Structure 1
Amino acid sequence: MKKRSILSLALAVLMSALVVGQTFAATEASVGENRRLYGEVVAVGEDSLTIRTPTGEEQTFLVDGATRFRSKEGELSGLDAIQVGMKVFVLPADSDVARIVLVLPDDFDPGRWSKGSGTVVSVDAAAGSLTLATDGGGEISLLVDENTRFVGGIAGLEALETGLRIGYAAREDENGNLVAGVLAARPQEKVRPARGTVMTVSLENGTFTLQTVSGEEKIYQVNENTRFRSKDGSLAGLADLQVGMVAIVVAADAGGETATAQVIAAGNPEDMPSFDQRARGQVTSVNDRSFTLVTAQEETFTFVVDESTRFLSASGAVQGLADLQSGDRVVVGAQEGDGGELIARLVAVNPSNP
């Protein structure tokens, strides 16, 4: 029974990381969080860059083949696109190696940006504005202009509907109005995640069969768009999927006997982590070294976070405790410390749901 419960939690953690929606907190507005560092580039080397923060401190980051470079227009070619004088965010700030370097507009002023999330109350497409009921209980009006980015499955202001939960990053213009730089919503496409054990694999047909935890057998088709994930990165395609592996499959509900797999995450059962405490619920508070959640059964748990805690989210936006917010839905696997405290080893984060 214990082995089965551990397997169920591991599957739940993995599924939460896979089907998590778009992040509500836009990177461009994340100022002062200890997982992101803002500053101006003062030096660029062959495999490094140095930035100076607003407080005058300088920090050098190494870059490697896994470092991603982005700007408002999209992906950049690499370190060769970075120039002295550029304003950037570097993630994570507490590492010697940069994983993401985000190039900001020349007129970016961190003091003029704010971020948050809420529910759409009204939309005035003609005026280019919308009103949100914020999570804090108030209301906020946002303007939209040609520079506003829409992410998370929404095409534009006209696509926003009353009742939709969105996140925003906004700046104050010269008239004191808040102009949205980013509006992010959860993707609207419904998918059907399933978890279970791989029973058959057919390379000839490009399919595999999954026996779910409820005993149902499902057949999935794999194509060139199917993404494969595993803990060690060894799962690159259908040929690497083995009978007996534990898997999470995310597929669009096509209404037929065979569904096309969008994401497959799999591993061997013995690789699944062992936890003393497992919990699923909504974050109610976040402190410097811990966070508290309440479950659907109204149980309250407080988890300590240390350097070994892993945070998982599909977008990669939640990289540490500083990125966690009240209202986030999480699945946590923890071990008991010497003093009886619960130390979170794995935290899978799913942004707040409506």
Structure 2
Amino acid sequence: MRTLLMRSSVLLLAASLLLTGVAAAEDEKPPVDVRVRGEITSVEVDSDSFGLHTARGEDLVFLVNDQTRFFGPDGELGGLGDLEVGMIAGVAATKEDDGRLLALRVAAGHKQDLLRVVGEITGVVPGQGTFTLETREGARYEFQTGERTRFVSRDGSVDDIHDLKKGMHAAVAAVRREGGWFALHVAVGEPKDRPDVDVRAAGEIISVGSSIFTLHTRDDRTLVFQVTDATKFGSTDGSVDSFGDLEAGMLAIVAAHDDGGTLTALWVGVGMPRPEGERPQRPSREAEPTAKPARGA
């Protein structure tokens, strides 16, 4: 399940990171009203527009003009004509007075040019800006880094490639560039930093609150999980990648750490809800928490 979730969200993550890197370097003028990710479904050069099927299942049409900027893995694209049906894209847009969406920035790439992997760092060459990583399956990758690479770690100790060390565990989102992989996002952690998975549960989400959600499990238990900034989210269709995407009625698998009775979700994998006729009938209720969430969660 974990591998499936990773594959389902990797392309959208990489497209999102491309767009985030562009947005960070620019002022939000005009203001961005809409940020979405998805797959390009049409490109209409004659009408200066393109269609996008979003991760949430929406079909949107975006207009472009001479102020719209287009970006790909290797930098800025020439324009609308460089987009292709089937590309994965992230779009930042403004909503015009008539309700139409005008794209301000579009970051797009082919599926085969986007990558996300998790594994152990096996070598670092700061002078060349490169590091190598080996996955659990034994696949090896070499990544180039640069000014657009963002490094993050649980304790804030990793700011650039000079802080990477052999033996560290990392999740890397990258784009293909000139035959190699360029790392956009490197999330690093030591093995000892990874909380133990004490609880694994599968069932239906029956309520979503402030930084907590309640799951009715297949074995008829009611569990309350708190979430943190470190909680990872995914779904089989790519529509769930944050806590804000969770809804009552979704089917989910949760891995959590038990800290004295408080269940902290480490990752949440969401599937499609069953048809209404197949779902168990239970009275609508707000489940009582089994443990009080930590303050400030």
Matched, 1:124 2:44: yes
Matched, 1:214 2:133: no
| Equivalent position amino acid for 1:144 in 2 | V
Report the CA distance between 1:270 and its aligned residue. 0.7
Number of residue pairs matched by the alignment: 240
Counterpart Cα distance in 2 of 1:138 and 1:193: 24
Change (3 A) 1:103 1:236: same
Counterpart Cα distance in 2 of 1:287 and 1:139: 26
The aligned runs of 1:1-354 (5 Å cut-off) are 20-23=13-16, 74-75=26-27, 119-132=39-52, 140-150=60-70, 155=77, 156-164=79-87, 166=89, 167=91, 169-173=93-97, 176=98, 178-182=100-104, 184-188=106-110, 190-199=113-122, 210-215=133-138, 218=140, 220=142, 224-225=146-147, 228-249=151-172, 264-277=186-199, 287-289=208-210, 306=226, 308-310=228-230, 321-322=243-244, 324=245, 333-335=255-257, 343-345=264-266
Counterpart Cα distance in 2 of 1:345 and 1:255: 36
Counterpart Cα distance in 1 of 2:53 and 2:121: 45
| Equivalent position amino acid for 1:20 in 2 | L
CA contact (8 A) 1:19 1:250 kept: no
Counterpart Cα distance in 2 of 1:308 and 1:337: 14
CA contact (8 A) 2:49 2:62 kept: yes
Counterpart Cα distance in 2 of 1:212 and 1:103: 41
Counterpart Cα distance in 2 of 1:114 and 1:309: 23
Secondary structure of the residue that 2:14 maps to in structure 1? coil
CA contact (8 A) 1:150 1:183 kept: yes
Change (3 A) 1:165 1:277: farther
Counterpart Cα distance in 2 of 1:259 and 1:141: 31
Counterpart Cα distance in 2 of 1:224 and 1:331: 36
Deviation digits for residues 37-66 of structure 1, max 9, x if unmatched? Answer: xxxxxxxxxxxxxxxxxxxxxxxxxxxxxx
Secondary structure of the residue that 1:247 maps to in structure 2? strand
Change (3 A) 1:164 1:342: farther
CA contact (8 A) 1:121 1:130 kept: yes
The alignment's C-alpha RMSD in Å is 5.7
Counterpart Cα distance in 1 of 2:43 and 2:63: 10
Report the CA distance between 1:178 and its aligned residue. 0.9
Secondary structure of the residue that 2:192 maps to in structure 1? helix
Identity %: 30
Report the CA distance between 1:161 and its aligned residue. 2.4
Counterpart Cα distance in 2 of 1:266 and 1:150: 30
Secondary structure of the residue that 1:344 maps to in structure 2? strand
CA contact (8 A) 1:246 1:268 kept: yes
Report the CA distance between 1:209 and its aligned residue. 5.4
Change (3 A) 1:274 1:139: closer
5+ long unaligned stretches in structure 2: 216-221, 234-239, 271-297
Deviation digits for residues 325-351 of structure 1, max 9, x if unmatched? Answer: 78xxx9964246998x965245699xx
| Equivalent position amino acid for 1:74 in 2 | E
CA contact (8 A) 2:168 2:188 kept: yes
Report the CA distance between 1:124 and its aligned residue. 2.3
Report the CA distance between 1:183 and its aligned residue. 5.6
CA contact (8 A) 2:12 2:88 kept: no
Change (3 A) 1:237 1:202: same
| Equivalent position amino acid for 2:188 in 1 | A
CA contact (8 A) 2:120 2:168 kept: yes
CA contact (8 A) 2:11 2:115 kept: no
| Equivalent position amino acid for 1:171 in 2 | K
Report the CA distance between 1:144 and its aligned residue. 2.4
| Equivalent position amino acid for 1:344 in 2 | A
| Equivalent position amino acid for 1:178 in 2 | R
* Greater gyration radius: 1
Counterpart Cα distance in 2 of 1:285 and 1:245: 38
